[in-house]
Structure 1
């Protein structure tokens, strides 16, 4: 008689779920360790080149970078972990025993789907509480050439604003509203197609009528003269929102905070395609872990003695890689406005959900 329950027995469900989780975590640890070492080899020279930086700064970089690597490669680890688990179940004829007991392919797959759903929820919380903070701090630190970054709340880095014939770059933007402060400011004043003056300042704070620059150095291309001043008022009429909204990186903001930034951009009449795509992707990206056992399930079915286990595992891996490629391609199209943001974030997920279900049903038949 066929078992009509969605889940198999409790013991079997825990066994399959534990098998999937342990393999996934093992792959994740190995991937993060290898990628972190390679990344640190490339960045350690830049970090240690700054006077005063040493071993503590290297460990600081590791602690900031590891959460970002975990977030990016956890779905990929779920794919490989599911492939390893299914291959083992197939080679040991455990799948044959389950099917002989009346379990369908979906019932065999159910414990791993439930486990991956829990992983997806934990990944979303991890992104919101840890990854966004690490991304914001690390981006600001790297944009500051790994020199000391002021511990401002909500600090933004490498912000560009255009104001008429002026191009303004702020290395760091901290605070919000009346408390907004700028650091490492460069103002390019253009005349036609040429740069007339270049003004550098260490810091800028708001004053009535504009911004007060501190430790100013200005170069005049017409006279080839460099002038210095302790203070200078500039950037008249530029509101602080121009700087805080000029650089909205979805990876540096939480789900609710990013939604507020989208509303602010809409009220200011600014384009929101890229930011809205990133907002939707904050939901679809963690949920992609649920797809991985489904795409890897092709390795579980078919007789091990047929000699096609490796081929089936390669097919599952190819389906997983195809999903990641399609997801990145769709997000890129959404960022450029070629796709609606919601479609760009969710189309690959539902497309490969249908593909995985089709492959699974054909195998069960």
Structure 2
């Protein structure tokens, strides 16, 4: 049973990924090849980055369809009747599928953590430059804007973390009451005390039109290093450990982290949803095949599975909006449909 279930699940997954990847290439390949210098190698690079996303997204769908096809065949061949006649309960009949789905869930989590997160981050960076050549990624942040009271600070590039942050090409827009008074520019800056020492700086006075050399000057008192290094966090482009570290840094900086916490929990509940699929699709296994309701039972199993995905996406969206607590947004659909699957199984068979 487990071998049949796993083989069909991965076969369906491969078929889904091939079809969806081909459809995706119909639109994206034109954008990739429109960039001068791009060719077949860049198209295959896109496929290598996009395919892991498709695999991660459709693993639960494939497990659901694999469950239904496996149990339908066993029901038609009266194998389920034989197992029941041997004294096995419905849960014992499903045990091989549930154990196999636990292995699939563990494999899916490892694949998402090690492969999908890196592929997503690389693809996002590549798409932001419209599939042009990417500069080497050193983990620096570029084009950073920070507000200090009325003043605005623009940094061309920020590197490092904590008190070791280094600023490159700093521009301070000195404003009073919303009006620009002066512009201070410096090629570099570093942390000093509770402020930032930038230099050699020059000051352009807007009213007088004069440029004054300031040398080293201390600015932006009270501006924390994380304000230059912590920007928008791409949760899908980080591994479980990386996202947890980013949430910790944002929490220490007093930034909101509720939506990221929901995504962190979902990195666990998402792969584990594969364990639910044998339970939700089990309605196709029980009931006599000659009753003529086998197709109806298969449709009910698919409806339960797809209802779970709708509820899961809805709860995650509500969590991102702050309407649901992070833990509830990630785990409530899983627990709810676990209870629904158990209720349907017990009511229809036990």
Tell me whether the two structures share a fold, i.e. TM-score over 0.5. yes
- SS class of match (1:50): coil
Summarize the Cα distance change of 1:42–1:130 in structure 2 as closer, same or farther, 3 Å threshold. same
Q: CA deviation at 1:49?
A: 1.8
Summarize the Cα distance change of 1:171–1:103 in structure 2 as closer, same or farther, 3 Å threshold. farther
Q: CA deviation at 1:154?
A: 4.3
Summarize the Cα distance change of 1:193–1:299 in structure 2 as closer, same or farther, 3 Å threshold. farther
Q: CA deviation at 1:46?
A: 1.7
Q: Give the number of equivalent residue pairs.
A: 326
- SS class of match (1:30): helix
CA distance in 2, matches of 1:40, 1:186: 42
CA contact (8 A) 1:330 1:345 kept: yes
Q: Partner of 1:215 in structure 2? A: none
CA contact (8 A) 1:136 1:155 kept: no
Q: Partner of 2:104 in structure 1? A: 119
CA RMSD of aligned residues (A): 3.5
Q: CA deviation at 1:241?
A: 2.3
Q: Partner of 1:27 in structure 2? A: 12
Q: Partner of 2:41 in structure 1? A: 56
1:27-176 equivalences under 5 Å are 27-154=12-139, 176=161
Can you list the C-alpha shifts for 1:322-356, whole angstroms capped at 9, x where unaligned?
00000000001111111110011000000000000
Q: Partner of 2:210 in structure 1? A: none
CA contact (8 A) 1:135 1:252 kept: yes
1:244-263 equivalences under 5 Å are 244-263=229-248
Q: CA deviation at 1:20?
A: 0.7
- SS class of match (1:102): coil
Among 252, 270, 294, the residue aligned to 1:309: 294
CA distance in 2, matches of 1:245, 1:87: 52
Q: CA deviation at 1:68?
A: 1.1
What TM-score does the superposition give when structure 1 sets the normalisation length? 0.78
Q: CA deviation at 1:97?
A: 1.1
CA contact (8 A) 2:318 2:324 kept: yes
Question: Which of 1 and 2 has greater Rg?
Answer: 2
Please, which moves more after superposition, 140-149 or 28-37? Answer: 140-149
Summarize the Cα distance change of 1:280–1:98 in structure 2 as closer, same or farther, 3 Å threshold. same
Summarize the Cα distance change of 1:60–1:332 in structure 2 as closer, same or farther, 3 Å threshold. same
- SS class of match (1:21): helix
Among 260, 263, 283, the residue aligned to 1:298: 283
Summarize the Cα distance change of 1:165–1:45 in structure 2 as closer, same or farther, 3 Å threshold. farther
Summarize the Cα distance change of 1:92–1:264 in structure 2 as closer, same or farther, 3 Å threshold. same
Q: Partner of 1:289 in structure 2? A: 274
Can you list the C-alpha shifts for 1:211-260, whole angstroms capped at 9, x where unaligned?
89xxxxxxx9xxxxxxxxxxxx9x96765522442211221111122111
CA distance in 2, matches of 1:90, 1:179: 64
Can you list the C-alpha shifts for 1:248-276, whole angstroms capped at 9, x where unaligned?
12211111221111111111111011110
Summarize the Cα distance change of 1:186–1:19 in structure 2 as closer, same or farther, 3 Å threshold. farther
CA contact (8 A) 1:159 1:247 kept: no
Q: Partner of 1:216 in structure 2? A: none
CA distance in 1, matches of 2:159, 2:312: 33
Can you list the C-alpha shifts for 1:118-159, whole angstroms capped at 9, x where unaligned?
110111111111111111111111112111222324477998
Can you list the C-alpha shifts for 1:36-68, whole angstroms capped at 9, x where unaligned?
111111211221222211111111110011111
CA distance in 2, matches of 1:107, 1:300: 13
Summarize the Cα distance change of 1:159–1:21 in structure 2 as closer, same or farther, 3 Å threshold. farther
Q: CA deviation at 1:363?
A: 1.5
